[in-house]
Structure 1
Amino acid sequence: MRKLKISVLLKVGFYCLFLSIGLEMQARKFVHPGILHTTKSIERMRAQIADKEYPAYGSFELLKSHHCSQADYQPFGPFEVISRDGEFRHTKSKMEQDFSAVYQNALMWVLTGEKAHAEKSLELLLGYAGTLKRIPETNDAPLLVGLEGLKIIYATEMLRHTYKKMTVIQFNEISRMIREVFLPVMENFYHRKPYTNGNWGPIVTKAYMAAAILWDNEEMYDKAVDFYLHANDNGTIAHYI
């Protein structure tokens, strides 16, 4: 009789456990705006700026004065092909500044509410979305898509959820560029044998995870987490730390 009671209790316990996991998975949602800054953190930064609270306000002053944070920033591109090394290495510093301007103007927009910054960030994003065709699979390609990809993904996330004048068509066009030009390099990196410094894996993974948040893609997000925890890469937690 006692064994029967224990058996029943175990079955009920496992049922409740799986039910709670199922409900948790159903309730799981990505926070927007997200990736780097949520609404709560943006509001905190705005308050620090308004109160001229240091060191936060000093950091904002540096951001505000940077040439890539200006609403009248003049881009070097857009380029059809970008690369950090190889045949198209001449685009490196130029496209990096352009993508920094995308990111920093999006950040200036959410911190100040000045529409000119949102307009500039969107203008630059659409310029590259309509022009960029390829990132060659050079040695530094994974580093490029990780570092620069995060900038444009973050900016797209911010504009998507805070700037009402960004249209669905514009969002889809930018997403197409990320999906067709940046994402394949990340996927290829995930399938290659380890050959880079340990920091490259997390750099690629954080951009991949950012894209997952942007598109509400749980499968991509879980893949990024699994790569960091279990993949055969120099940048996984087991190999790097």
Structure 2
Amino acid sequence: MYSLNNVSLDINEGQVFGLLGPNGAGKTTLISMLCGLVKPTAGNFTIDGLNYTSHSSKIKKIIGVVPQEYALYPTLTARENLHYFGSMYGLKGSDLKDKVIEALDRLGLLKFADKAVETFSGGMKRRVNLIAGILHNPKVLFLDEPTVGVDVHSKNAIMEYLKMLNQNGTTIIYTSHHLAEAEDFCTNIAILDQGQIYAKGTPTSLINDTAEARNLEDVFISLTGKALRDGI
């Protein structure tokens, strides 16, 4: 994993901003810093006009985080998990109950609400994982590989739900190795490698500015090379 080096980004309200790059490029490090999980050794950033050094607690209230690894308690039911995570964001009573039911229903999980999460398929867990990060209606949502390892139907349900959230005003910052998905989903993209930004712009502009590129995958290979990035 690379440390970040002179990374500078402006992400505007309402965008779906993709952070793309090979394994170890610095994507998760950058998201971890923006979420307050890792403290930068240099530099600064603001979210919704709030500086992280003096307003970190306020920032945490307006962001949602959906990690790549499942952040769920396997022996609890989906409903129990979501009530727990919702209460951590200050939701309670009928408001919390209604939000959980609505989200489970929209993502096709309501009939499984009282089943233990450990009995769920990967796609079902991924959907519950997403709901846990958005119950409090965050202004900014951070997604780290939200569709990794899921079936086609779960992937479609997740992406449609995310598009709905964005249309309703949520700014989304997203990492993925699914470049065709990113090309369709993102309004803007930055390609990182070795802790630095190699290119940024709209998917269309990046494709148009790269010789012989037909899609975002061609842009990605052109900028980061064809070498394998295996590691232990």
Larger-Rg structure? 1
With CA pairs under 8 Å and 6+ residues apart, which has the higher RCO, 1 or 2?
Answer: 2
Pick the structure with more strand per residue: 2
TM-score by structure 2 length?
Answer: 0.29
TM-score by structure 1 length?
Answer: 0.28
Pick the structure with more helix per residue: 1
